[in-house]
Amino acid sequence: MLARYSHISFRTKPDFKYPGVVRYGIVSVGTPTQGLSVPWGILRSVRKLRNAQSRDGCAVGCDHDRTDDSRLPWSSEGDYGGWGGHSYHGTDGDSDRRPVVFVHGNQRDACDWNPHVSFFSQRGYTGDDLWAITFREGTSTHESMARQLDDFIGHVRAHTGADAVDVVGHSLGVTGLRYWLASRGRFEWVGTFVGLAGANHGTVLSTWCAETGLSGGAYVGSEFLRADYDEIPGHPLASLNADETPGGIDYYTLRGTDDTLFWRCPDSPVLEGATNVRLDTDHDGVRGDQRALEYVFKWVSGTHPYNVQHQVAAP
């Protein structure tokens, strides 16, 4: 079997001793890496990433460009897209809750969070409480994400009058949020931080990509997210992890037991000082499974997702 991605060739064959695993070597710039065992799932993840890239990063194939700001109550001046606010959601504008900002992952967009709108709206959240950004690029650098997040969240605060927001990130969006907090010093802007399947300590796949020159397009974050970051002097992820839960923020993380992105580094999403939970699901399930939605709601709202007071007036 031979699957080609950019200038790298993945030469694979089944490993009959360990079912579901393949033996493969990466050939790039004449340097092979031999004898590594890789789950079939990690190759499927690479294919899914490329398929998402072909759809401009939208899993549902919506009609909105990445910088379409027509669903926001301000102009992004072509810098990003997304949705949020009572006009877009069709609700009243009054709320005493802290707004929630959802941040997508690699080669995805704000549409990833549509199920969360329904779940939260049924439990008392209004349109001005629910916001999601779509980054200008399907795969953004961490500096680009930080710049766009600073503008987006600044506008959310100005529009709602809230001093702080809660943030929920998935995959690449998790380290994007952490980098934004650290580089801009915006710790007072955030009350609760929820990281879903974030590569907080890098991935082996990113190390391979970085070492074989696959660092453009959907792999632009490979160097930042390499798993051996702590062996490289001055590496930005090492600086970010010098204090993994800074500021007076409540931190939570969720990771999956079947997440092939974290092959050979299953605890990468864990943050020291956070509440860290593991679910029996895969990379996207950590964001979209029912149990994941329940955890996110509980953490950001501080209430049980099935509290009857969400449905009827309290006696």
Predicted TM-score of the model (pTM): 0.85
Q: How many domains does the chain have?
A: 2
Q: Which among 107, 117, 113, 263 is positioned nearest to 199, based on CA atoms?
A: 263
What confidence category does residue 1 fall into, taking pLDDT thresholds of 50, 70 and 90? very low
Assess contact for 285 and 292: CB atoms under 8 A: yes
Q: Tell me, what CATH number does 104's domain have?
A: 3.40.50.1820
For residue 167, give Cα distances in angstroms to 71, 100, 136, 210.
19, 6, 19, 29
Q: 91 and 234 share a domain?
A: yes
Residue 32 in this model has a pLDDT that exceeds 90: no
Q: Which among 225, 189, 191, 190 is positioned nearest to 207, based on CA atoms?
A: 225
Q: Note whether residue 97 is domain-resident.
A: yes
Q: 71 and 156 share a domain?
A: yes
Q: 93 and 179 share a domain?
A: yes
Provide mean pLDDT across the span 222-248.
97
Q: Which pLDDT score, from 0 to 100, does residue 35 have?
A: 45
Range of the domain at 16: 1-54
CB contact set of 74 (below 8 Å; sequence gap of 6+): 155, 159
Q: Note whether residue 315 is domain-resident.
A: no
135-154 pLDDT tens trace: 999 999 999 999 999 999 99
Q: 165 and 255 share a domain?
A: yes
The domain boundary, picked from 14, 39, 54, lies at 54
Residue 3 in this model has a pLDDT that exceeds 90: no
Return the structure tokens found at 29: 């710039």
Q: Note whether residue 292 is domain-resident.
A: yes
Residue 54 in this model has a pLDDT that exceeds 60: no
Q: 44 and 176 share a domain?
A: no
